[in-house]
Chains A and B, each alone.
Chain A
Amino acid sequence: MGVFSGEIKDKVLIVIPVFNEEGRIGRVVSELLERGYLNVLVVDDGSSDNSSKEAIDAGAFIVRHIINRGAGAATATGMEIFRKSEKFKIAVTMDGDGQHYTEDVIYLMQMHIEQGADITIGDRFSSGKNVIPFRRKVYNVIADLVTGWMSFRMVSDSQSGFRVWSRKAVEKINIEQDGFEFCSEVVIKAHHHGLKISNVPIRVKYTEESMQKGQGFLVGVKTFFNLLHHVLFKIK
Chain B
Amino acid sequence: MAGLEVYQILVPLIALFAITLTLISHFKGQNTLFESFFWVLLWLGIAVVAIIPDEITNALSHALGIKDNVNAIIFIGLAASFFIHFKTFSVIKEQNRVITKLVRKISLTQFETKEKEK
Contact = CB atoms under 8 A, between A and B. Distances in A.
Given A66-B103, A69-B99, A80-B104, 17 more contacts: A43-B107, A61-B115, A63-B107, A63-B108, A64-B111, A65-B103, A69-B100, A69-B103, A70-B100, A76-B100, A77-B104, A77-B107, A77-B108, A81-B111, A176-B97, A225-B89, A229-B89
Of B96, B107, B111, most A-chain CB atoms within 10 Å: B107
Closest 9 CB pairs of A and B: A63-B111, A73-B100, A69-B100, A77-B104, A65-B103, A63-B107, A65-B107, A178-B100, A69-B103
A61 B107 CA distance: 13
B106 interface: yes
The number of chain A residues touching the other chain, given as a range, is: 20 to 34
Is the contact region of chain A dominated by helix, strand, or loop, or is it mixed? mixed
A67 B100 CA distance: 9
Nearest to B93: A229
Contacts, number: 46
The number of chain B residues touching the other chain, given as a range, is: 10 to 19
A181 to B, nearest CB: 12
Contacts of B103: 65-67, 69, 73
Given A69-B99, A178-B96, A81 B108 contact: yes
A39 B55 CA distance: 73
A156 B35 CA distance: 44
B89 to A, nearest CB: 7
Contacts of B96: 178
Interface in B69-117: 89-90, 93, 96-97, 99-100, 103-104, 106-108, 110-111, 115
Interface string A177-211: 01000000000000000000000000000000000
Given A178-B96, A229-B89, A229-B93, A73 B111 contact: no
Nearest to B99: A69
